[in-house]
């Protein structure tokens, strides 16, 4: 983890740190949960707080279909 914390920036999910893609805050090399503010970690990060909204978990199964990203499938307002 780099030394540059950016508290006024939002977390970016998913983000790559090392050779791993993360979809939520992590505690790697830290005693506290943190996230990258860039898609690929560039040393810019922030601590996660209880106010941060929960993030999606990928992949997920919905109606016997596996999704690796967000979808509007099944969302009533997305139907034409």
| Any domain includes 54 | yes
Write out the two tokens for 12.
């970016």
The residue with greater pLDDT, 23 or 52, is 23
CATH for 21: 2.10.10.10
Distance of CA 17 to the CA centre of its chain: 11
Give the residue numbers spanning the domain of 18.
8-79
Residue-wise pLDDT for 14-35, tens only, equals 899 999 999 889 999 999 999 9
Q: pLDDT grade, residue 59 (50/70/90)?
A: confident
Does residue 67 lie within any of the structural domains?
yes
Tell me if 43 is assigned to some domain. Answer: yes
For residue 48, with 0-12 CB atoms within 10 Å meaning exposed, 13-18 middle and 19 or more buried, which class applies?
middle
Q: Which residue has the higher pLDDT, 76 or 73?
A: 73
pLDDT in the model for residue 77:
59
CA distance 51 to 27: 17
Which residues contact residue 77 at a Cβ distance below 8 angstroms, ignoring those fewer than 6 apart?
none
User: Is position 1 within any domain?
Assistant: no
């Amino acid at each position: 983890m780099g030394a540059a914390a950016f508290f006024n920036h939002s977390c970016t999910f998913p983000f790559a740190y090392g050779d791993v893609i993360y979809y939520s805050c992590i505690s790697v090399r830290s005693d506290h949960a943190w996230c990258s503010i860039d898609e690929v970690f560039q040393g810019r990060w922030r601590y996660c707080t209880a106010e941060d909204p929960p993030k999606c978990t990928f992949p997920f199964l919905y109606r016997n279909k596996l999704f690796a990203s967000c979808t509007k499938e099944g969302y009533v307002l997305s139907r034409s």
